[in-house]
Amino acid sequence: MYHLKYGEIGRYSPPGGELIATFETKEDLESKFRTVSRKISGIFGTSQKFSDLTISAQPFYTEFNSLESTSQRTHYSSLPREPVCTENLTPWLKLLPCRSKAGLASLLNPIKLYDLFYHSMSVEVTRSQENSLSFHQQLLLVVELKEFKFSQIFGTPLIGPICPFSSQTKIQIEGFSDYSSFTPTPEEIGNNQVGFILKENLNNKKDFNLHYSPKENTNNNGYNHNNIGNGNSNNGNDNNNNFNNNGINDENISKNQSIKLNRFLKESGKIRGGVITQITNLEKNDLHLTLYDSLPWFMRVYFHTLTIKSNFENKEIEITDLNLEREQDNESNLFANQASLLRIQTSQDHGRPSIFELALVLKPGETFQISVDYLKGFLNFEEHPFDGNRGFDIAPAIVSMHGKKQNLKKRIYYTDSLLLMLPTPDFTMPYNVMTITTTAFLIWYGSFLNNLTGRAGLKLKKKSKAKWIIKPDKF
């Protein structure tokens, strides 16, 4: 789990690609989403499968956008298999006003970027009520450093001009309070964070190579984080490049993390299996979580096997079936019980996935284990991907934290994606069948035809010695 390994500093993306689109009205969501996903995947060089209806669905109770409640107008699609490489970075960079020619983005070199522990890019476009457009691009990298220096992290110091379109180019580093160890000296000094504003430095043609050399012997053998965000708003050219850096040691994990997530397959052969999701509350307070899980149709989920076990109690937890009406969206009712089933969508073969959404209340230190069993379905011959023997990637489940009382930020967590092995057919069978049947048919038909149309009298006549031959009388 990324937040467990690397710390909670931003919104991690699930493996592969993810597309979330919120529309104004509930009508005709699928065709609208299809159009949007095709255009966006064309821009970013991802595959068109986002619009595939067997994968995409609507999470009702997970709120991706912290600004407004968007239930039932949001369409979500996740492709865990999607490769992320230079061809995705190129259009992402081309969306920046100065691309990678000026400004902080000139540090980004794909050779370095794709050799890291973790990298993700995201673009978020929101339209607020006043009809102003907010465009937010985020690049999240996890770098292991021996030395905290730009030329080490990015391979190059920041040379070259600042982007003239940005109103501010700012580097903000969190988690360090000894500002005197930085070269050059920072302009802004805050509570556990320092900031560098890069207007004059670079225009004087001096290289900006941020260097941190601690005077004391601090134990810094954890992971360092870089978060480059670039925000544009339509009102003014308010271009704010933030560079966040967070040093986390191994001892800090339990301090910063809220939950621990795990998800795995419980398989017993080619016929049936089960999915188990484990959630642990690492906080000191009760946590209100919603779990959204969407499993493709070829995992034929049996919802009567949906059970929740807790490490605090011996018996299973009772799941209250709320199955609320879609108009009701009162948060306090959702978390009245320990575990409530908010929604179930059964799957359709070769069509939509099966979905269940749960609302959970976890006590501090409690672990819930949610398990559901399924039978594996058969795909049509054409539905198998070209490398069908690799298996199918199942999209991660989404756990979202709802916290009004605790004053937490609404956070989204993703589990791991799964790899499911389906019974695959022998793909050479059509060829084999055609070959055998045509051969057999040809042998029969060929000999048939030969016998029918072959010429008589081709055999040599034996000269018979008998001279008298009895010919039959004509009847």
Partner 1 sequence: MKQKYFSCILLLCILLNLFFPTCLSSRTSQHNNNWAVIVCSSRFWFNYRHVANALSFYHTVKRLGIPDSNIILMLADDWACNARNCFPGKIFNNKDHNLNLYGTNVEIDYRGYEVNVENFLRLLTGRHEPDVPRNKRLLTDSGSNILVYLTGHGGNEFLKFQDSEEVSSKDIADAFEQMYQKKRYNEILFIIETCQANTLFNKFYSPNIAAIGCSELGENSYSHHFDSSIGVQVIDSFTYYSLNFLNNIKPGDSHTTLEKYFNSMTPKQIRSQPRLEFFQFQRNPREVLVSDFFGSIHDVVSHPIYDYSFQNDNHNQNGNIDANGEKENANRNDNFQLKNQFQHRDKAQPNIKISNQFQHNLEDEAIELSDNYFRLGMIILIFLIFFFALIEKIITQK
Q: Does 434 bind partner 1 (CB under 8 A)?
A: no
Nearest to partner 1 of 254, 438 (CB atom): 438
CB 371 within 8 A of CB 305: yes
Identity of the residue, 38 or 350, whose beta carbon is nearer to partner 1 in the bound complex: 38
Q: Counting contacts by CB under 8 A, is residue 350 touching partner 1?
A: no
Please give the span between the terminal C-alpha atoms of the chain, in angstroms, as a whole number: 101
**In the beta sheet, which residues pair with residue 133?**
127
Q: Which of 85, 133, 433, 436: binder of partner 1 (CB under 8 A)?
A: 85
Q: Which stretch binds partner 1 (CB under 8 A): 40-48, 121-129, 200-208, 244-252?
A: 40-48
Which one of residues 22, 23, 53, 110 is an interface residue with partner 1 (CB under 8 A)? 110
- Whole-Å CA distances, 192 to 118, 174, 179, 471, 474: 25, 6, 9, 125, 125
Asked if residue 38 binds partner 1 (CB under 8 A), the reply is yes
Q: Is residue 411 a contact point for partner 1 (CB under 8 A)?
A: no
CB of 68 to partner 1, least distance (A): 27
Q: Is 312 in the site for partner 1 (CB under 8 A)?
A: no
Rg of the chain's alpha carbons, rounded to an integer?
A: 32
- Written as one letter, the residue type at 117 is F
Q: Which stretch binds partner 1 (CB under 8 A): 86-94, 278-286, 290-298, 331-339?
A: 86-94
Q: Which is nearer to partner 1, 82 or 329 (CB)?
A: 82
Asked if residue 162 lies in contact with residue 203, where contact means CB atoms within 8 angstroms, the answer is yes
Which residues are within 8 A (CB) of 6 and not within 5 positions of it... i.e. 6 or more apart?
117, 118, 142, 223, 225, 248
Binding partner 1 by CB under 8 A: which of 66, 86, 180, 183?
86
CB under 8 A: which stretch of 65-73, 85-93, 418-426, 436-444 binds partner 1? 85-93
Q: Does 264 bind partner 1 (CB under 8 A)?
A: no
Instruction: Give the burial class of 337: count Cβ atoms within 10 A of its Cβ; 0-12 exposed, 13-18 middle, 19 or more buried.
Output: middle
Nearer Cβ to partner 1 (157/186): 157
By CB under 8 A, which span of 110-118, 125-133, 279-287, 454-462 interacts with partner 1? 110-118
Q: Is 41 in the site for partner 1 (CB under 8 A)?
A: yes
Residue 111 within binding range of partner 1, rule CB under 8 A: yes
Asked whether position 255 contacts partner 1 by CB under 8 A, the answer is no
Min CB(47)–partner 1 separation in Å: 5
Candidates 100, 120, 193, 241: give the one binding partner 1 (CB under 8 A).
100
Beta strands 17-22 and 74-79, pairing class: antiparallel
Binding pattern for the stretch 6-35 against partner 1, x by CB under 8 A and - elsewhere: ----------------------------xx
CB-based contacts of 361, cutoff 8 Å, min separation 6: 286, 287, 288, 289, 335, 337, 338, 339
DSSP label at 5? Answer: H
| Per-residue binding letters, 372-401, with partner 1 (x by CB under 8 A) | -------------xxx--------------
Select 266 or 390, whichever has its Cβ closest to partner 1: 390
The type of residue at 284 is K
The whole-angstrom separation of Cα 360 and Cα 291 is 8
In angstroms, what is the minimal distance from the CB of 158 to partner 1? 15
Q: Following DSSP, what letter does each residue of 314-337 receive, concatenated?
A: SSPBP-EE----TT---HHHHTSS
Instruction: Please identify, using beta-carbon distances, which residue of 82 and 286 lies nearer to partner 1.
Output: 82
The CA distance from 437 to 420, in Å, is: 35
Q: Is the bond preceding residue 184 a cis peptide, omega within 30 degrees? A: yes
E strand or H helix at 302: strand 299-310
Stretch touching partner 1 by CB under 8 A, among 41-49, 356-364, 392-400, 409-417: 41-49
CB of 65 to partner 1, least distance (A): 24
Residue 90 in contact with partner 1, rule: CB under 8 A? yes
Side-chain half-sphere exposure of 20, counting CA atoms within 13 A: 19
Query: Rule CB under 8 A: is residue 113 a binding residue for partner 1?
Result: yes
**Contacts with partner 1: how many residues (CB under 8 A)?**
33
Backbone angles phi, psi at 358, to 5 degrees: -120, 150
Q: Is 13 exposed, middle or buried (0-12, 13-18, 19+ CB in 10 A)?
A: buried
Using CB under 8 A, list all residues that contact partner 1. Answer: 34-35, 38-39, 41-43, 45-49, 81-87, 90-91, 100-101, 109-111, 113-115, 385-387, 427
